[in-house]
Amino acid sequence: MTGLDFEEMLDIARKHRILIGSLVGIGVSFAAMRRYFAGGVCRSKARLDGKTVIITGANTGIGKETAIDLASRGAKVILACRDVMRAERAATDILKKSNNQNVVVKIVDLASLDSIRKFADNINKSEPKIDILINNAGIMMCPYWKTQDGFEMQFGVNHLGHFLLTNLLLDKIKSSAPARIINVSSRAHTRTDKLDFDDLNSEKNYNSMAAYRQSKLANVLFTRELSRRLQGTNVTANSLHPGVVDTELTRYLPQSVPFYFRILFAPIIYIIGKTPLQGAQTTIYCAVEESLANVTGKYFSDCAIKEESKAAQEDEAAKKLWEVSEKLVGLRK
């Protein structure tokens, strides 16, 4: 049960309205259930002194908790965020909680290829190495918006933005080997049959939930292709599902999900949802766990390897997506 995602919750809510309603009504022991749903925990005590970590979307939610943990282990943590104010505020907090002064903010808007290039350029010049890259930033079920370069927002940010970022930083990451790249995907990726290459940008038909699933499937497919391309480099690439986590990821739901749904939704999230700290465990595990040193191309949930969906195991689709993405972000003509 702990591997569910928001969309599945919506589906369950739809199907079992009455049951869930009465469950909530009876007032079952919330505390006990919340503990049950808290999921896997990273128990590694590995230190990261002298290591450099980049985390996208580290100013809130799962990314922020990941930053606090990795900074506590001694890493230099670069918060790759789009909003200066939000990021600086988070940095102050992360610094305090981790007791590590080596926490810096660098601005990047993943909805802008230009911003990503500037960020990568800055990192390339200022950082001698990158030991861990965590592609965590994400956006879910927003209205039909476009990125600066005209891509559908969820595909653009969750997939294409991280695609370009990862590729631009790849040489530096390789030269820092052993290194790790981690993609925060979602179990939502299992709820779509295949990547719709004919409409990657949802131009023919936009469904906010479907677009999120597609973007998260793209994350897992890319892990596959990337880890294949990184063979023999001592750089690993893995993706993961953090669980159902109570974060700001739901910020656009009021615009895409009816009110009565959300009313139903709130107590379920309260019961089965993880806190951001619990939700960050699998990311932290993939970043630090010693036994994963040579593990690559895998998909994790609750601090364990899980099987990704069939659609996410298709090497052909992974390869094709890589090539299409290269063209879309201008890495190849």
Ligand X SMILES: NC(=O)c1ccc[n+]([C@@H]2O[C@H](COP(=O)([O-])OP(=O)(O)OC[C@H]3O[C@@H](n4cnc5c(N)ncnc54)[C@H](OP(=O)(O)O)[C@@H]3O)[C@@H](O)[C@H]2O)c1
Binding of ligand X by 139 (CB under 6 A): yes
Nearer to ligand X, 242 or 297 (CB): 242
Q: How far is the CB of 297 from ligand NAG (least distance, A)?
A: 8
Q: What is the 3-state secondary structure (H, E, C) of the chain?
A: CCCCCHHHHHHHHHHCHHHHHHHHHHCCCHHHHHHHHCCCCCCCCCCCCCCEEEEECCCCHHHHHHHHHHHHCCCEEEEEECCHHHHHHHHHHHHHHHCCCCEEEEECCCCCHHHHHHHHHHHHHHCCCCCEEEECCCCCCCCCCECCCCCEHHHHHHHHHHHHHHHHHHHHHHHCCCEEEEEECCHHHHHCCCCCHHHCCCCCCCCHHHHHHHHHHHHHHHHHHHHHHCCCCCEEEEEEECCCECCHHHHHHHHHCCHHHHHHHHHHHHHHCECHHHHCHHHHHHHHCHHHCCCCCCEEECCEEECCCHHHHCHHHHHHHHHHHHHHCCCCC
Binding of ligand X by 98 (CB under 6 A): no
Residue 248: name its binding partner from ligand X, ligand NAG, none (Cβ under 5 to 8 Å by kind): ligand X
Binding to ligand X by CB under 6 A, coded x per residue (else -) over 53-92, reads ---xx-xxxxx-----------------xxx--x------
Binding of ligand NAG by 235 (CB under 6 A): no
Q: Which of residues 105, 244, 264, 321 is near ligand X by CB under 6 A?
A: 244
Q: How far is the CB of 265 from ligand NAG (least distance, A)?
A: 27
Binding of ligand NAG by 294 (CB under 6 A): yes
Binding to ligand NAG by CB under 6 A, coded x per residue (else -) over 185-224, reads ---------------------------------xx--xx-
Nearer to ligand NAG, 99 or 294 (CB): 294
Token couple for 5: 């995602």
Residue 212 is among the residues annotated as catalytic for this protein: yes
Q: How far is the CB of 59 from ligand NAG (least distance, A)?
A: 20
Q: How far apart are CA 52 and CA 70, in angstroms?
A: 10
Binding of ligand NAG by 181 (CB under 6 A): yes
Q: What residues between 143 and 172 interact with ligand NAG by CB under 6 A? A: 159, 162-163, 166, 168
Residues that bind ligand NAG (CB under 6 A): 120-121, 124, 135, 159, 162-163, 166, 168, 177, 181, 183, 218-219, 222-223, 226, 232-234, 237, 239, 290-291, 293-294
- Interface residues toward ligand X, by CB under 6 A: 5-6, 56-57, 59-63, 81-83, 86, 109-111, 136-140, 157, 184, 186, 241-242, 244-245, 247-249
